[in-house]
Structure 1
């Protein structure tokens, strides 16, 4: 009877998860498999030739332009991730440890305000702020600090990093805050009772226990920023393309879907490898299981 009850519960559970599972399979797996299939086909004149080939991947790994763009994408995404997480941790720490419990919901509400506007609008606002006749240049010129508007604050990597770090800051703050909230405060008090300073207590207790949130924030920021298309196009002025821009050119402008698919698959694999290496280093050197 007990076995029958378990079988009935298992069937009921499968029935419940089947619709979302099939939906996720259709929405996520089907496009990935389609891209993977295209990456092994040949590109013909205004058509795709259904013939297996490795030439697309050979071109991806041997073309110096692709290599340069991929390395730039990794570098920019790494800078954005580092800046975002480093700036997000103090904010999350302040809200978790310094703000009174009844006011934390208000702070979280304020942190999520950027989500009220479209990501594209936020990117264009940064272009307005950093532009030749933008807010910064107009202010500095009006105060007499500079005679001519600055031209180096837009259309460069620094502007892209600043824009992406601002856009993804809430994605980093929230998981770190959740991890900090789960820390048992009695552990911190025990460390202080044993003679540890606040800095050492933070280093030996708070930071290791908060690492799951830091890891989540790192991956949440790193993975989408490496494939960002809008910011390099708007803030970079199209002069500093990243891998997503290169994929767009191959897919739409040149109509070379096999090569564009190979670029997309390669980018996904590189991101997966970098993420796994980061998780391994975290477990190896920080002795924390994410």
Structure 2
């Protein structure tokens, strides 16, 4: 009887109610996120023999990664492309977010934000194919314009199937993800601070540099993380826009996992990529904390 009453009190407690609420989400996260990641991590220390996992714990896969020139080249290329996409996206997104925040009337801001999200109405695959065929293609918009104004006599093939084409496509695809957090950060800025700076004799440029930009940096850092993390592991764009000529780290993982059936080495490459992303994310999160402390 005593045990039954204790169990009844536990079931009626706030902790039990909270656990009941979060348990479906926790189980979902464990089964679909934590368990696959743990499996990949364990596989990275194993060995593959004829497509089978041999549980021989060693660091051989990681040694292969950091000593193989082709893997290092692809890792470096992935980092370079992802950082270039992040830089291009943020540089393009900031003026748009600034214009909407400071120059669009409050009654029309929601319409502008609605228009910014229109690209999400179509599939990502469709947008990539549009870039590949209609914009960058042999008879695409860019080649048509270049021939129309007399810069070239025949369509250029160099504008497609290269890293530059991938950077343009990815920057367009992730631009809304960068615009929105920057816009939110700009909206939180107290306009009286800007007016005070101009009253003290500062020009608009100096006011922006000394007040607006530092106060909006948390939004910029959020945009950097939102763009950098998915682009470094993007698989579709390098495969379609790059035409297989400019493989990225995700393409290499796919080759090891599926085509060569080397799950151990593919897992080690995936873990290495996640570690790189984690280090970069921590650096930017520390920068974000620094900017937030500076605002207090």
Q: Tell me the distance in 1 between the aligned counterparts of 2:253 and 2:140.
A: 31
- Is 1:237–2:243 an aligned residue pair? yes
Alignment of 1:225 with 2:231, yes or no, is yes
CA contact (8 A) 2:217 2:291 kept: no
Query: Match of 2:126?
Result: 121
What corresponds to 1:259 in structure 2?
Answer: 265
Alpha-carbon deviation of 1:25? 2.3
Residue 5 of structure 2: aligned partner: none
Q: Secondary structure at the match of 2:156?
A: coil
Q: Where in structure 2 are the equivalents of 1:131-210 lying within 5 Å?
A: 131-210=137-216
Post-superposition Cα deviations, 1:46-85, rounded to whole Å, max 9, x if no partner, equal 3111221211111111111100000000000000000000
Task: State the shift of 1:259 in Å.
Answer: 0.2
Residues 149 and 286 of structure 1, relative CA distance in 2, 3 Å threshold: farther
- What is the TM-score when the length of structure 2 is the normalising length? 0.90
Q: Where do residues 15-30 of structure 1 align in structure 2 (5 Å cutoff)?
A: 15-30=20-35
Q: CA RMSD in A?
A: 2.1
**Matched residue SS, 2:159:** coil
Distance 1:249 1:288, change over 3 A: farther
5+ residue gaps, structure 2, are 1-8
3-state SS of 2:13 partner: helix
Q: Which residue of 2 aligns with 1:272?
A: 278
TM-aligned CA deviation for residue 279 of structure 1: 3.6
Q: Give the Å deviation of 1:219.
A: 0.3
Establish whether residue 46 from structure 1 lines up as the match of residue 51 from structure 2. Answer: yes
Deviation at 1:122, TM superposition (A): 0.6
Preserved contact between residue 218 and residue 291 of structure 2 (Cα < 8 Å): no
SS of match in other structure, 1:48: strand
Q: Is the 8 A contact 1:211 1:288 kept in 2?
A: no
- In 2, Cα distance between equivalents of 1:278 and 1:44: 40
Q: Give, in whole Å, the separation in 1 of the partners of 2:292 and 2:184.
A: 20
TM-score by length of 1: 0.92
